[in-house]
Amino acid sequence: MSYLLRTLTKKEDVDSIIRDTIDKLLVLRFGRSSDSVCLQLDDILSKSEQDVSKFASIALVDVDSEENQVYLKYFDITLIPSTVFFFNAHHMKMDSGSADHTKWVGAFHRKQDFIDVVEEIFRGAMKGKLIVKCPLPPERIPKFQLLFKDV
Amino acid sequence: MSFNGRLTIDEDKGSIDEDEVTTGLKVGIPLFSFNRSLVTRSAPVWLYFLVFSRYHFFVSQSQFLLAAQLGVEDSAVFRSTSAARWLGQFMLTANPIGFLNFVALCLDAGPLAHFLPVATRNWPTPAISICSQGRFTTASLEDSFLADLEDLSDNDNENLDEDTGDAEHMEDDVNGDLADIEALNYDDLDSVSKLQKTQRYTEIMQKVEEALEKGSNISNQGMVLEDDPEYQLIVDCNTLSVDIENEIVIIHNFIRDKYRLKFPELESLVHHPIDYARVVKKIGNEVDLTLVDLEGLLPSAVIMVVSVTASTTSGKPLPQDILQKTIEACDRALTLDASKKKVLDFVESRMGYIAPNLSAIVGSAVAAKLMGTAGGLTSLAKMPACNVQLLGTKKKNLAGFSTATSQFRVGYIEQTEIFQTTPPALKMRACRLVAAKSTLAARVDSIRGDPSGKQGRAYREEIHKKIEKWQEPPPAKQPKPLPVPDSEPKKKRGGRRLRKMKERYAITDMRKLANRMQFGVPEESSLGDGLGEGYGMLGQAGNGKLRVSVGQSKLAAKVAKKFKDKQYSSGGATSGLTSSLAFTPVQGIDLIDPQADANRLGSGTQSTYFSETGTFSKIKRT
């Protein structure tokens, strides 16, 4: 599915896309195109790209390229896939009941779930909030374990 | 005789008080016989009114009228009035047993016995015998009355048929005389079908044949002028073809009636008159249909059905003379058909030069028919398009057949190629379109505006294009992206309904009072002593009311006001001196302001703290 969405390998591309998406929510997926969960997530992303095109844009960031390691370090991405949301170059956080609010880890169960999340974040962003609450019920949120290093 | 429709029908009466009957009749009949010499239609009226009051409780109006008829000499006059019809209907619904009981008693009663011959002279014989026996059952009575009734109505129906038949038949047909109904079972073909013998027919056929032989020599000249004798011939041909068609129908009926003895089912199997004539001629008097070869006359499925039905038919071979007549009629029908074809061919061949534009759109045959029915090109041009659409409609709504399946009103336009090739869903629209364009073309032709027919072809193209466009599928639906969230403001609704809905959740006056407190006065609470929910100003002495009840909402107040206005304003039938005020004996005039309750506490935002409508700050208990 990665051929349907924009895949970014270079750091400048990522920078430019974060800077240049104005008044639209930017969805960046960090992952590999060979991973099965990534593929699931990519499938949903590509199907809903047209539907949310008026208020969101989607891009994929390849985790394996060297230039993008900076971002992996910055966003602390360890589990694949992870999705980070930006609005006007602000990083949007979402409280989905898990330990990490800065990103969304894992795939979505349904296309509608993804659209709901995107809409919620967009609404919050339009109101000026930097963190929003997740509209999904807990059973639809993929669970993961956060391992703290050296703790 | 005109009565009001008031009728008293008694369901259960079988027994009658004999004395009353006889007394009444003793009074009535002698008076009536006195008047007999001056019998007019009003006489029974008079009698009726005399005795009706006595008898209305057991005998109905109609029954009594009939009894009154006993003395009327001229029953034909009585019968022919509409009252008889009305009467006949009521005789069945009214109590026939009671009535005839009554009559029997009259007949038995002494003073009336001599009326019997006069009375029963005009009655149907079963009724008389029944009456004299004094015993009757409902069924036979009703049958006899029904028979009587049918006699009346049948005569009328036949009269009607005769009148419409005149329009179809040629010159000297039967004139709606009752006796001539039998003449409709004619034996002689010539008494019905006269067209071939007329002068007009032979003349026109001659001319047509000449013209057809001449071929297309004349046509090379171009448009035919209206003064041209050939144009007149064409107009005559049009009318003649219509007449021929009618004539064929008449002959078909004749053949059918004759052949019914031999093969009654054939008429329902083969509908078309010419096909029927051909088949009849072929079969002749043959009983075994396997010897008859119907190939080419009918489709094979129909041939099979016909031969099967023929093997089980109930018909018998015809006598020779009737057979002869039938075959003659068939021949005549076929010749008429052939001549009609000739006439139509001739008109068609010339149609391209008379009305090229019109024939470019609808085709020459239909154009010829339209012109013929309209009565010329100029009259066709003057018609509005809606009329052109209906030229040539067949109004064949046989009574008793449902009109639910009848095709919409289309005339000759139905036979055009354009109409036949449109899908059924679009037929109505196509018909209207064709009629409109052909009217325009006819108008162009009537002033010789376009002799080459170019305009007609252009119209035809236009019609085709439009029909194509109608049949296009609608454009495919594009999947739309979702709208930006919260970008469209929510549509707020207003209005009475919403206000009423909101009222249910609005803060009531009670709650408003409870929310406030008076200065310096501790409020009461539900659990007492400051515990529990506080009551605020509710129930305290400083209020305008002793008890707070459910306040009237504003809307309810408006409604109440309207209602009270209606109450106070009288209907207009009262005089100007009446007053709507009520004077109570103790107090005198007491004017109550109905709005007092609603306005007392006002909108709630108005504070009652500084209210001027006297609120007591202290109530002294004595």
Q: Answer for the pair B357, B448: CB distance below 8 angstroms, yes or no.
A: no
Instruction: Tell me how crowded residue B288 is: count the other CB atoms within 10 A of its CB.
Output: 9
Q: Quick one: pLDDT at residue B163? A: 36
CB proximity under 8 Å: B 61-80 to A: none
Q: Which residue in chain B has the smallest CA separation from A55?
A: B484
Task: Please answer yes or no on whether B485 and A115 come within 8 Å at the CB atom.
Answer: no
- Interface check for B486 against chain A (CB to CB < 8 A): the answer is yes
Q: What CATH number does residue B417 fall under? A: 1.10.246.90
Size of interface A-B (CB pairs under 8 A): 23
Range(s) of the domain holding residue B372 = 355-399+407-471
Cβ atoms within 10 Å of B107's Cβ, excluding its own: 18
Report pLDDT digits (tens) over A65-80.
Answer: 888 899 999 998 888 8
> Three-state DSSP class for A7?
strand
Domains and CATH numbers, chain A: 7-140 (3.40.30.10)
Pick among B480, B482, B487 to test the A interface (most A CBs inside 10 A): B482
Chain A (85-124) residues lying within 8 Å, Cβ to Cβ, of chain B: 115, 119, 122-123
Is there a domain that residue B376 lies in?
yes
Residues B378 and B445 in one domain: yes
Which alpha helices (H) appear in B185-228, and where do they start and end? Answer: 199-214
Asked whether residue B330 is assigned to any structural domain, the reply reads yes
The pLDDT tens digits for B548-561 are 555 556 667 777 78
Flag whether residue B215 sits within 8 Å of chain A, measured between CB atoms: no
| Residue in B479, B481, B486 closest to A54 by CB | B481
Contact between chains at B481 and A123 (C-beta distance less than 8 A): no
Query: Is B136 inside any structural domain?
Result: no
Cβ of A123 within 8 Å of Cβ of B482? The answer is no
| Residue B341, in any domain of the structure | yes
Per-residue pLDDT tens digits for B137-175: 444 555 666 666 666 544 444 443 333 333 333 333 333
Please list every residue in chain A whose beta carbon sits closer than 8 Å to the beta carbon of residue B481.
Answer: 50-54
Q: Do B482 and A122 touch (CB under 8 A)?
A: no
Q: For residue B586, what pLDDT is reported?
A: 58
Nearest CA to CA, how far is A46 from chain B (Å)? 13
**How far away is chain A from the Cα of B477, in angstroms, using its nearest Cα?**
15
Looking at the fold, whether B320 and B190 belong to one and the same domain comes out as yes
B318 SS3 class = coil
**For residue A127, what are the contacts with CB-CB under 8 A and spacing of at least 6?**
none
* Same domain for B333 and B262: yes
What is the interface pTM, i.e. ipTM, of the complex?
0.83
Chain B residues touching A55 at Cβ < 8 A: 482, 484-485
Cβ contact B483–A51 (<8 Å): no
pLDDT of residue A76: 87
Instruction: Examine residue B73 and state whether it is found in any structural domain, yes or no.
Output: no
Residues of chain A found within 8 Å of residue B484, distances taken between Cβ atoms: 54-55, 122
> With contact defined as beta carbons under 8 Å apart, do B45 and B1 qualify?
yes
Distance from CA of B482 to the nearest CA of A (A): 5
Sole residue written with tokens 């909108």: B603
Secondary structure (3-state) at B515: helix
Residue B43 to residue B357: CA distance in whole angstroms: 73
Please give the full DSSP string across B31-53, using - where no structure is assigned: HHHHGGGG--THHHHHHHHHHHH
What residue type is B187 in one-letter code?
D
Q: A140 vs chain B: nearest CA distance in angstroms?
A: 22
The encoded tokens of residue B156 equal 């009328």
Q: Give the span between the Cα atoms of B419 and B417, in whole angstroms.
A: 5
Residues of chain B neighbouring A122 (CB-CB closer than 8 A) = 484-485
Interface with chain B: mutation pick from A52, A53, A55, highest number of B CBs within 10 Å: A55
pLDDT of residue B489: 84
Q: Kindly report the backbone phi and psi dihedral angles of residue A29, in degrees, each rounded to the nearest multiple of 5, phi listed first.
A: -100, 125
Inter-chain touch A55–B479, beta carbons under 8 Å:
no
Both B288 and B364 in one domain: the answer is no
Distance (Å) from the alpha carbon of B502 to chain A's nearest alpha carbon: 28
Asked if B485 lies within 8 A of A123 by C-beta distance, the reply is: yes
Rounded CA separation B187/B254 (Å):
9
Residues B329 and B448 reside in one and the same domain? no
Single out the residue of B198, B209, B204 nearest to residue B233, CA to CA.
B204
Cross-chain Cβ contact B484/A122 below 8 Å: yes
Answer yes or no: do A51 and B482 touch at CB < 8 A. Answer: yes
> Is residue A81 reached through a cis peptide bond, with omega within 30 degrees of 0 on the bond before it?
yes
**Residues B348, B359 share a domain:** no
User: Which one of A50, A53, A55 has the shortest CB-CB distance to B485?
Assistant: A55
Same-domain pairing of B416 and B367 = yes
CA distance B480 to chain A (A): 7
- Model's pTM, two decimal places? 0.43
Q: Are B52 and B134 in contact (CB under 8 A)?
A: no
CB B193 within 8 A of CB B250: yes
The two tokens of residue B113 are 């016995």
Tokens of B563: 């209602």
**Shared-domain flag, residues B375 and B346:** no
B458 with B345, same domain: the answer is no
Q: Kindly identify which residue of chain B lies nearest to residue A125, measuring between CA atoms.
A: B485
Picking from B455, B471, B487, the residue at the C-terminal end of a domain is B471
Residues of chain B neighbouring A123 (CB-CB closer than 8 A): 485-486
Residue B304 covered by a domain: yes
Q: Measure B487 CA to nearest chain A CA, in Å.
A: 10
Nearest-CA residue of chain A relative to B483? A54
**Domain-embedded: residue B343:** yes
Phi, psi of B134 (to 5 degrees): 80, 15
Q: Which residues of A touch B482 (CB under 8 A)?
A: 51-52, 54-55, 115
Q: Do the beta carbons of residue B108 and residue B134 sit within 8 Å?
A: yes
- On chain B, the residues whose CB falls within 8 A of the CB of A46 are none
Q: How far is B481 from chain A (nearest CA, A)?
A: 4
Residue ranges in chain A modelled with pLDDT below 70: 1-2, 146-151
A121 Cβ contact partners less than 8 Å away, ≥ 6 residues apart: A25, A85, A87, A92, A94, A132
Residues of chain B falling short of pLDDT 50 = 1-16, 21, 24, 32, 35, 37-43, 45, 48-50, 52-53, 55-59, 64, 67-68, 71-81, 83-84, 87-94, 106, 109-120, 124-139, 153-185, 220, 546
Residues 40-69 of A with CB under 8 A from B: 50-55
The pLDDT value given to residue B525: 86
Beta carbons of B485 and A52 less than 8 Å apart: no
**Nearest CB to A54; choose among B479, B484, B486:** B484
Count of domains forming chain B = 2
Asked if B194 and B333 sit in the same domain, the reply is yes
Residue A126 with chain B: CB contacts under 8 Å: 485-486
Nearest CA in chain A to B480: A51
Interface contact A123-B484, CB threshold 8 A: no
Q: Is B323 left (phi over 0), alpha (psi -120 to 50) or beta?
A: alpha
Does B349 lie in the same domain as B253? yes
| Interface mutation target, options A54, A121, A132, chain B, most CBs of B under 10 Å | A54
Q: What is the DSSP string of B441-493?
A: HHHHHHTT--TT-HHHHHHHHHHHHHHHHHTSPPPPPPPPPPPPTT-SPP---
Helices (H) and strands (E) in chain B, counts: 26, 2
**In a shared domain, residues B316 and B374:** no
Domain membership flag for residue B453: yes
What CATH code is carried by the domain that includes residue B191? 1.10.287.4070
Q: What is the pLDDT of residue B58?
A: 45
